[in-house]
């Protein structure tokens, strides 16, 4: 399970409190410079990967990444490297930071690709749809093409993000890999009144044999 989270460093324990049977690897916006909670700036996102605690002996948390990127390796009947990313939102000055994040992901893939099946997932704040081509979209499409990544399932034109205003939607949440044979199911959830997020879940099951 991967997620974008709205927690500060001093709040990370909340994940263990509400999900007691899961372990996690979490980086918050202030992980490198923790805040004390007295004067918090506007809400900022971090990233987390969660897994059943029975898997923990097979999971290694990787030091590579930053407050927007976390990665783990998982040993099963084959080895997997999972990278979860929450990439910068598109604005007039975001291309440099977006490129920096892609460079970090590139380095992780290059380091682990020979021994692990790579899964890149998360809110990539860029689309692979041909119908849109802003600066993030172009960077993401070039990145995916260069590394030979493809979606875990058939996304078609199904959207994953719906602005709360109701005036726009986009496809920006992805599960990407080089080897689609490691996946046996893939689903983009429909919108639901019980989901308060602007994003809908994107789900896949692998053939890893972990239970």
What is the pLDDT tens value at each position of the chain, 211 positions in all?
Answer: 545 555 656 677 777 788 899 999 988 865 555 555 556 555 566 889 999 999 999 999 999 999 899 999 999 888 999 999 999 988 888 999 999 999 999 999 999 999 999 999 999 999 999 989 999 999 999 999 999 999 988 888 899 989 877 788 999 999 999 999 999 888 888 888 888 788 898 988 888 766 5
User: Could you give the CA distance from residue 209 to residue 78 in angstroms, rounded to a whole number?
Assistant: 9
Model's pTM, two decimal places?
0.87
DSSP state of 192: -
The strand pair at 69-75 and 79-86 is best described as: antiparallel
Instruction: Give the residue among 72, 57, 140 at the shortest CA–CA distance from 112.
Output: 72
């Amino acid at each position: 399970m991967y997620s974008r989270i709205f927690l500060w460093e001093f709040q990370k324990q909340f994940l263990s409190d509400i999900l007691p049977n899961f372990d996690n690897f979490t980086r918050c916006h202030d992980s490198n410079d923790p805040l004390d909670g007295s004067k918090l700036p506007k809400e900022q996102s971090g990233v987390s990967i969660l897994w059943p605690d029975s898997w923990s002996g097979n999971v290694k948390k990787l030091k590579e990444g930053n407050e927007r990127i976390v990665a783990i390796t998982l040993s099963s009947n084959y080895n997997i490297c999972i990278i979860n990313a929450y990439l910068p939102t598109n604005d007039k000055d975001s291309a440099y930071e977006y490129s920096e994040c892609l460079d970090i992901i590139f380095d992780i893939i290059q380091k682990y690709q020979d021994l692990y099946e790579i899964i890149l997932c998360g809110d990539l704040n860029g689309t692979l749809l041909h119908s849109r081509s802003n600066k993030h979209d172009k960077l993401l499409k070039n990145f995916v093409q260069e590394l030979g990544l493809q979606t875990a399932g058939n996304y078609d034109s199904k959207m994953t993000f719906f602005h709360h205003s109701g005036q726009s939607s986009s496809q920006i949440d992805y599960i990407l890999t080089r080897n689609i044979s490691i996946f046996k199911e893939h689903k983009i959830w429909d919108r639901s009144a019980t989901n308060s997020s602007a994003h809908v879940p994107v789900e896949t099951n692998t053939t890893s044999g972990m239970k």
